[in-house]
Amino acid sequence: MDITILGIESSCDDTSAAVIRNTTLLSNVIASQAVHVKYGGVIPELASRAHQQNIIPVVDTALKEAGITADKIDAIAFTRGPGLLGSLLVGTSFAKGLSIAGNIPMVEVNHLQGHILSHFIDLPDREMPHPSFPFLCLLVSGGHTQIVKVSSPLEMEIIGTTIDDAAGEAFDKCAKVMGLPYPGGPVIDRLAKEGNPNAFTFAKPHVKGEFDYSFSGLKTSFLYTLRDKVAEDADFIEKNKADLCASLQHTIISILLDKLIKATKALGIKDVAIAGGVSANSGLREAVAEAGRRRGWRTFIPEFKFTTDNAAMIAISGYYRYNQGMISGLDVAPVARLEEIL
Ligand code: KG4
Ligand code: ZN
């Protein structure tokens, strides 16, 4: 029997709704919030207000595009966390309202598991290549950087994690000090294409944990380089923007790849996926594909629309959980931190 899931994502600054039938995506609507750009970062209170404005039209459009009405939905999957509490509260409360009104079960989803399971979404006109279990996923987003061993859609183990900043944060914070707009990751990606990745050398971390990451040292090293150079020449950043971006991106990718390669060797796993907002980075995509060619991995690089936050990944995760009877009660509350979900 077909299972139809409505997914709702509201963990940060994108309001998204999607409909999936079994593993096939029927619609995926995303409303991004422009309000944060002028502040150079996401303002939580503004984010939750924008979610409140967006959520009804976004869900409505997702249902219409899928060609169904709410009474045809088997379950509502929603992001329970991690994320901004106020933002999560909007999605969770909306899911509860719809659940009560339509007598539709709710399924809570861990946002990070959602990013990983985006690799199992099929499109109506084509089946996508799916990794085989167990596989390793490098999960790189604005808030998290992890190496996850995925044994099944519901069994995941974090084998490495950042001890301070996330990779996306390193992109965004370094972009900010260069005066680039938020979010900085995509801007650096674009500028890096014109620059020399070996023009500058930044600090690479020595982290105790075998598969753990750290990005705060790189950020400091980047900042000190700018400070010293700008003291000599006030126009230094403007003149060297492309080289700075290329060198920074090169360093972040090299840090990410070192530990990922180590993990594949240690675990003897050759199916390797990347997921999360930073997996949209063209340099990272190419570097992972190249490492795969050299090392005999099968690599799984997500379509761009599934890299940054979207509800399709929440709907597919909801599908797997619903199949296992994992229904949430009406007393479910959102949680901001990952540790509270695990
Ligand atoms: O997964 P995501 O949409 O939200 C979180 O769950 O955090 O990730 C957002 C992050 C931001 O830090 C953004 O700068 C980064 O993904 N990002 C990129 C690119 N596109 C988005 N970083 C580098 N290169 C990109 N092309
Ligand atoms: Zn995300």
**Which ligand is the nearest neighbour of the Cα of 279?**
1
CB 172 near ligand 1, within 6 Å: yes
Q: pLDDT tens, 248-257?
A: 999 999 999 9
| pLDDT number for residue 45 | 87
Specify whether the CB–CB gap between 292 and 54 falls below 8 A. Answer: no
Position of tokens 């994320």?
A: 83
Residue given tokens 């099968």 in the structure block: 298
- From CA 341, how far away is CA 156, in angstroms rounded? 13
Looking up tokens 């869900």, which residue turns up? 59
- Which of 308, 337, 341 best tests ligand 1's pocket when mutated (most atoms within 8 Å of CB)? 308
- Tens-place pLDDT, residues 276-309: 999 999 999 999 999 999 999 999 999 999 999 9
Residue 341: the pLDDT is 65
Rounded Cα distance, 79 and 81, in Å? 6
Q: Do domains 4-127+306-340 and 135-304 have the same CATH topology?
A: yes
pTM of the model: 0.96
Average pLDDT of the residues in 190-204: 97
Q: In Å, how far from its chain's centre is CA 297?
A: 22
Q: How far is ligand 1, taken at its centre, from the CA of residue 127, in Å?
A: 26
Residue 67 to residue 27: CA distance in whole angstroms:
9
Three-state secondary-structure class, residue 309: coil
Comparing CA positions, the residue from 186, 143, 199, 204 lying closest to residue 283 is 186
Q: What is the pLDDT of residues 160-195, one digit of tens each?
A: 999 999 999 999 999 999 999 999 999 999 999 999
For the chain, give every domain's residue range: 4-127+306-340, 135-304
User: How would you classify the pairing of strands 271-275 and 135-140?
Assistant: parallel
Average confidence (pLDDT) over 42-56 = 92
Ligand nearest to the CA of 13: 1
Which pLDDT band holds residue 33 (cuts at 50, 70, 90)?
confident
- pLDDT, averaged across the chain: 96
Pocket test for ligand 1, best of 11, 171, 309 (most atoms within 8 A of CB): 171
Say which CATH topology domain 4-127+306-340 has. Nucleotidyltransferase; domain 5 (3.30.420)
pLDDT for 342 equals: 56
- Of all protein residues, the one whose alpha carbon is nearest to atom 14 of ligand 1 is 185
Closest CA to 44 of 339, 342, 272, 336: 336
Question: What is the Cα–Cα distance from 310 to 79, expressed in whole angstroms?
Answer: 10
Ligand positioned closest to the Cα atom of 145: 1
φ, ψ dihedrals at 112, nearest 5°: -70, -40
pLDDT tens-digit profile of 110-155?
Answer: 999 999 999 999 999 988 899 999 999 999 999 999 999 999 999 9
Domain spanning 135-304: CATH 3.40.50.300: no
Question: Which pLDDT tens digit goes with each residue over 102-118?
Answer: 999 999 999 999 999 99
Please tell me if the CB atom of residue 276 comes closer than 6 angstroms to any atom of ligand 1: yes
60-106 pLDDT per residue, tens:
999 999 999 999 999 999 999 999 999 999 999 999 999 999 999 99
Ligand 1 close to Cβ of residue 81 (< 6 A): no
pLDDT given for residue 128 in this prediction? 84
Q: What is the pLDDT of residues 261-283, one digit of tens each?
A: 999 999 999 999 999 999 999 99
Percent of the chain with pLDDT over 70: 99
